[in-house]
Amino acid sequence: MTEIVIVLPELKGGVGDYTGLLLEHLPHISNLRLIVPKVGSRPANSFEQYPVEETNASAKDLCNRLPIQGGKVLLQYSAYGFSRTGYPRWLIHALLDWKTRSGGTLVIMFHEIWTFWPILNRNFILQQLHRSDLRKLLRLADAVFTSTQSQAEHLNALSARSPTKVLPVGSNIRPAEIHEPRERGVAAIFGLQSSRIRLLRIMGSSLKSLSAAGRIRKIVTAGSGSSAQGDKDEQAALLKLELIDGFEQRGPLPEMKISELLSTSEFGISAQDELSITKSSTFMAFAAHGLNVLSCYAEGTKSEPFSLMISPDELLNGVTLSDLQSRGERLRQWQERTSSWSHIAGEIGRALKI
């Protein structure tokens, strides 16, 4: 039976969560192993079903753990996840050697590519070496995926056996069955605290105008990464909005509570631009819950999902309830079609021929 190996940088964190949800939506694979640089404690998810091995982050050790003849490897690539310098030379060289020697199937999901350093930066040469090694790996890969169009363009320009396919990330919050109505005027901001603070600073002026008009009455923030100083900064940014019904800072919450928040709020607020939106699992959580997403990048003439979102000016000028409901449902359908976990698992499963 053909052996399948997933090489990933972590069991916990963004790429670890991605891999866990992917495994939940793939059929159970009896001959699958996972290899990580450091195992640590295992999260309670699909990893429990499969053996996990730790590599000492050397090319020789990883080569010894990959299938000897044939086999299939899925690489969850994150440059800084595998290397503090952002150039995991040992990993790339191990896979180049394995692919050449075994003739197995190599599928790569690029969560990150390389860092773009200016020519006068001392890391510029490191960047060029990294790109050179990735070019070799791309020429041998059987299928290549990434989460954004801009990353796909960079990878295709570098080299690829076949064009890199864009596969947006899935939602990190699964919709629960919530039967409560949405609260008019309530908006949710969800994600890491640093991202929430950045969003409030970018959209502060627009949100204050919507507050003065009574269109946004209350904001609820939730997500991890909190600190004492971060709580103060977030609170200060929220106070400036002068919201009629105030705000709540809920911090980290269980998945069910986040789903409840996203299911009962009228709006989600996002500051993701064209370069980052398809790799934002928090934005995809908004979309999966059919929320109306308020964004400074929303515009009807743009492609989906931006044409399905709402700009602050548009909301100030008036949007009908039926239009809001239609856009929220169409955004949910877009997410289901392009980045549901069943779709992601289907695409990667076909690449691995499982």
Mean pLDDT of 317-322: 89
Which pLDDT does position 47 carry in this prediction?
81
Q: Based on the fold, state whether residues 116 and 219 are members of the same structural domain.
A: no
Number of structural domains (the chain) is 2
* 272-287 pLDDT per residue, tens: 999 999 999 999 999 9
Preceding omega of 305 cis (within 30 degrees of 0): yes
User: Cβ distance 163 to 151 under 8 Å?
Assistant: no
Rg of the chain over all Cα atoms, to the nearest angstrom: 22
pLDDT value at 212 more than 70: yes
Which pLDDT does position 122 carry in this prediction?
78
Which pLDDT does position 44 carry in this prediction?
67
* 220-231 pLDDT per residue, tens: 999 999 999 999
What would the two tokens of residue 277 be? Answer: 């939106």
How far apart are the C-alpha atoms of 218 and 246, rounded to whole Å? 5
Which pLDDT does position 298 carry in this prediction?
95
Q: Based on the fold, state whether residues 222 and 85 are members of the same structural domain.
A: no
Q: Based on the fold, state whether residues 46 and 153 are members of the same structural domain.
A: yes
Mean pLDDT of 54-79: 93
Which pLDDT does position 116 carry in this prediction?
77
Q: Based on the fold, state whether residues 230 and 153 are members of the same structural domain.
A: no
Residue at a domain's end among 132, 167, 202: 167
How far apart are the C-alpha atoms of 104 and 7, rounded to whole Å? 14
Taking alpha carbons only, the member of 8, 27, 15, 16 closest to residue 349 is 27
Who contacts 336 (Cβ-Cβ below 8 Å, separation ≥6)?
288, 343
Mean pLDDT of 320-333: 94
Q: Based on the fold, state whether residues 16 and 161 are members of the same structural domain.
A: yes
* 120-134 pLDDT per residue, tens: 777 778 888 999 999
Query: Which stretch of 50-59, 66-75, 153-162, 210-219 has the lowest confidence by average pLDDT?
Result: 153-162
Which pLDDT does position 229 carry in this prediction?
96
| Confidence at 190, pLDDT banded by 50, 70, 90 | very high
Q: Based on the fold, state whether residues 107 and 249 are members of the same structural domain.
A: no
More confident call, 141 vs 45:
141
* 146-158 pLDDT per residue, tens: 999 999 999 999 9
Q: Is 349 a member of any domain?
A: no
- pTM value is 0.90
Q: Domain with 334 in it: what CATH number?
A: 3.40.50.2000
Q: Dihedral sign for Cα 288, 292, 297, 299, please.
A: positive
How high is the mean pLDDT of the chain? 93
Which pLDDT does position 100 carry in this prediction?
93
Which pLDDT does position 160 carry in this prediction?
67
Mean pLDDT of 201-227: 96
Domain encompassing residue 125: 4-167
